[in-house]
Amino acid sequence: MIPVSGRFAKFMMNPPATWRRLRQWLETDGAFGVKEVPLAAAVAAALRTGTVRSPLAAPVVASAPGLIGREEIRPPEPVVSYQSVSPSPGAGIRTIIPAATALPPIPPGDIAALESLPPQDQTARLEQLQRQAEAELSLYLSDIATKVVFGEGDANAALMFIGEGPGAEEDRTGRPFVGRSGQLLDKMIGAMGLQRKQVYIGNIVKLRAAEHDLETGRPKDRPPTLAEVALSIPWLHRQIEIIRPKVIVTLGLPAIRHLVGETENMSRLRGQWRVYRGIPVMPTYHPSFLLRAYTPENRGKVWSDLKNVMAKLGLPG
């Protein structure tokens, strides 16, 4: 047992909002390589081993908008099962996203070893997958995540971009990367000599992750929790299996971490090829980071990553 005393005991007595925030924070990667603090690590370890139970252990239906339900703390399970607690979609009760202590495993085997798929079948299968994803994930819609943002682009694309998840504008339109980050991504794609419609753009999570800001009362984006990633990522694995890109570019830390299970921070990962089921993956900075830190140095790093991708694809430099 982990001794429960001092600051930790005080934390355990704290009100639900604090608990929820810390739980959500613990389940995220932090922005661009932020490390765990020791207290958080102790709490995470205690939750993992089941030596401490959440004071809010009983699952309840979320009543506050944007609340990810209180979750039963269970021993780690390799695969998360998704069980609806909502009587039916649209019944006015938001379905709770179940707790997750691990992501579903990456499907085995290289994509190149799969049976070949004619281009028209790729398009049809991707459309079918989108319909399925929209039907299943719409159970989890709320006043914050109002649309399933599946992804868009060429089903036969040689190049696929993967970001973190939809923001306000993406949620409003149901399309990935259409806000300010999306405009910058479009410029990056243009600089590679390509058009947006020639690539495929997806995200790790398909539902907007945000919570109501207590001061403004408006939704404020936050990194997705592990439970939210676990809910969406199987759809991404299936998208990649259908599209079979020659190269993947991940945008930002959560994308590369969750796609290939990396634990390094962004400054070490950026620019270094990784592999996902035999497909070369280039991790680079997220456009929203570039917008915040629009320095010649950061722009140069991203451009160098994109030039590596162009070389790999045989695009003129």
Residues that bind ligand URA (CB under 6 A): 163-167, 170, 176-177, 179, 181-182, 203
- Strand, coil or helix: 69: coil
Give the residue with the Cβ less far from ligand URA, 162 or 310: 162
**In the complex, minimum distance from the CB of residue 254 to ligand URA, in angstroms, rounded to a whole number:** 8
Residue nearest to ligand URA (CB): 163
Q: What percent of the residues of the chain are helix, what percent strand, and what percent coil, each to the nearest 5?
A: 40, 10, 50
Regarding beta strands 152-153 and 219-221, do their DSSP bridges make them parallel or antiparallel, or are they unpaired? unpaired
Q: How far apart are CA 1 and CA 50, in angstroms?
A: 9
Give the residue with the Cβ less far from ligand URA, 46 or 251: 251
**In the complex, minimum distance from the CB of residue 287 to ligand URA, in angstroms, rounded to a whole number:** 7
DSSP per residue over 96-143, as a string? PPPP-SSPPPPPSS-GGGSPP--HHHHHHHHHHHHHHHHHHHGGG--S
Give the residue with the Cβ less far from ligand URA, 94 or 175: 175
**In the complex, minimum distance from the CB of residue 177 to ligand URA, in angstroms, rounded to a whole number:** 4
**In the complex, minimum distance from the CB of residue 175 to ligand URA, in angstroms, rounded to a whole number:** 8
**In the complex, minimum distance from the CB of residue 166 to ligand URA, in angstroms, rounded to a whole number:** 5
Residues 6+ apart with CB under 8 A from 220: 210, 211, 212, 213
Question: Count of alpha carbons within 13 Å of 217, Cβ hemisphere only?
Answer: 0
Give the residue with the Cβ less far from ligand URA, 164 or 262: 164
Give the residue with the Cβ less far from ligand URA, 165 or 234: 165
